[in-house]
Homo-oligomer: A and B are copies of this chain.
Amino acid sequence: MTELEERLLGELLRISILDPHSHINPHAAASKSLDDLLGYHYYTELAHSAGMDKAPLSAETPAIERARSIAQYLPAIENTVQYSWLMEIAWTFFGFDDRTITPQNIGRLFEAAAANTATPDWEDRVLRASGVERVFLTNDFDDPLVGFDTSRYVPCLRTDDLVFHLNNPRTVERLNQATNSTVGDANTLVAAVGRLFEHFTRHGAKACAISLPPDFEPLPVDRTDVDPVLRRLLSGATVTGDEYRSVSRFVFWTLAAFCAQFRLPFDLMIGVNRRVYRSGVFQGQDLFDQRTSLILYRELFNAFPQVTFPISVLTSSQNQELVSYAWIFPNVVTSGHWWYSNVPAYIEPDARARLTAAPATKQIGYYSDAYKLEFILPKFNMYRRALAKILAADFVIDRGWTEERAIALANQVLRTNTQRVFQV
């Protein structure tokens, strides 16, 4: 990096982290072993893609054996930035100082991880060392939301199951149980969903969220039209694909309406097809179809001007749409760099377009999407390096900005926007 980039990065590293989206389990936020870290789907799926059999991933396999199995394939993925997160964790949190992880040294790393994660204040130490203030969660709709500090771990109502799996009787059971209802038609369903919003906001939830397939097109559905379909569905009958699509649209639109009523932003993560690689590892089966467009959301954005939609897109080719829709629609906000786009090769061009073409106030710069606290730091650091390059090239050099002004912009997309949009 140039000296300018280094100086800017140095300042960016001092901005403490508000992480507006993660999959952290607040009851087991930090890892308990190297197994928890290597179990992150990035490593299991990349190792499997590089040739590893899935057998060692079974629960019966002792953790150290599983680690050894994965370690055999780590050399094949040393080139990936995903691997670099793991190395940064090993160096930062476990005092490891080898340059790579191999079948030879994995045992030593395993023990170092065990020793560190076993310290009683490990969670606090990781948060402090990472400069993390608050972390948003991804809570199932029937999460009781008790037993953790909601000022540190911010609840978020995740709604994929309600929209896409209401045809699974188990989802309806869970909904009935969580809301003390017996949903059987449109009215009782809407009422139950309303009770979820009450429960979540009462427990400090600051967002509603959902991930969506590339062909989903939210449209309003008349309650009286969908009611007969819902009655059949909720009584256990099967409905056609077209009928279920109208159910999905109805539930989705209902969620948006409750977001308006409860003043919650609605995080949309657009573009994922589930179970594309059917023999893939856990969480390593999903891919996408680049043929999607935010035009599918035009009616939604028009219908709910009072709801803020922080939007993540799965592909870099959709980033220009995201920039343009955020530039035009007051209620569209760009949000982070998601999954297959969460590598510098895509973060840099995507963030550059956002930072130079959409209002600074309408950008949530980054979220970790992490399952364990240890990953927040290396992932944010990856984004910070990309951001330092953009600030140097496009703002300090091209536009003659002072470094202070560039850092103020970074602070806005990393902190103050998150605070304002999510009211935290």
- The smallest beta-carbon distance between A311 and chain B, in angstroms, is 13
Q: Are A327 and B46 in contact (CB under 8 A)?
A: yes
User: Of A273, A279, A294, A357, which is in contact with the most chain B CB atoms at under 10 Å from its CB?
Assistant: A357
| CB-CB under 8 A for A324 and B46, given A301-B277, A356-B79, A357-B82 | no
- The smallest beta-carbon distance between A340 and chain B, in angstroms, is 4
For residue A320, CB closer than 8 A to chain B, the reply is: yes
Which A58-88 residues have a C-beta within 8 angstroms of B?
76-82, 84
Q: Are A320 and B317 in contact (CB under 8 A)?
A: yes
Which A65-114 residues have a C-beta within 8 angstroms of B?
76-82, 84
With a CB–CB cut-off of 8 A, which chain B residues contact A276? 295, 298, 328
User: For chain A, what secondary structure do more than half of its interface residues adopt (helix, strand, loop), or is it mixed?
Assistant: helix
Q: Are B273 and A359 in contact (CB under 8 A)?
A: no
| Residue from B81, B298, B325 in contact with A356 in the complex, judged by beta carbons closer than 8 Å | B81
Which A309-355 residues have a C-beta within 8 angstroms of B?
315-318, 320-321, 323-330, 340-341, 343-346, 349, 352-353, 355
Q: Are A357 and B295 in contact (CB under 8 A)?
A: no
For residue A374, CB closer than 8 A to chain B, the reply is: no
For residue A219, CB closer than 8 A to chain B, the reply is: no
- The smallest beta-carbon distance between A267 and chain B, in angstroms, is 19
For residue A190, CB closer than 8 A to chain B, the reply is: no
Q: Are A49 and B362 in contact (CB under 8 A)?
A: yes
- The smallest beta-carbon distance between A385 and chain B, in angstroms, is 7
| CB-CB under 8 A for A49 and B328, given A320-B346, A349-B349 | yes
Which one of A145-153, A227-235, A394-402 is at the B interface? Answer: A394-402
Which one of A130-138, A164-172, A193-201, A283-291 is at the B interface? Answer: A283-291
Q: What CA separation (Å) do A276 and B298 show in the bound complex?
A: 6
Q: Are A345 and B328 in contact (CB under 8 A)?
A: no
- The smallest beta-carbon distance between A417 and chain B, in angstroms, is 10
| CB-CB under 8 A for A357 and B343, given A289-B293, A316-B320 | yes
Which A243-285 residues have a C-beta within 8 angstroms of B?
273, 276-280, 284-285
With a CB–CB cut-off of 8 A, which chain B residues contact A286? 328
With a CB–CB cut-off of 8 A, which chain B residues contact A329? 49, 277, 280
Q: Are B50 and A324 in contact (CB under 8 A)?
A: no
For residue A360, CB closer than 8 A to chain B, the reply is: yes
For residue A361, CB closer than 8 A to chain B, the reply is: yes
A39-67 contact mask (Cβ, 8 Å, vs B): 1 or 0: 00000011011110000000000000000
| Residue from B285, B356, B399, B409 in contact with A345 in the complex, judged by beta carbons closer than 8 Å | B356
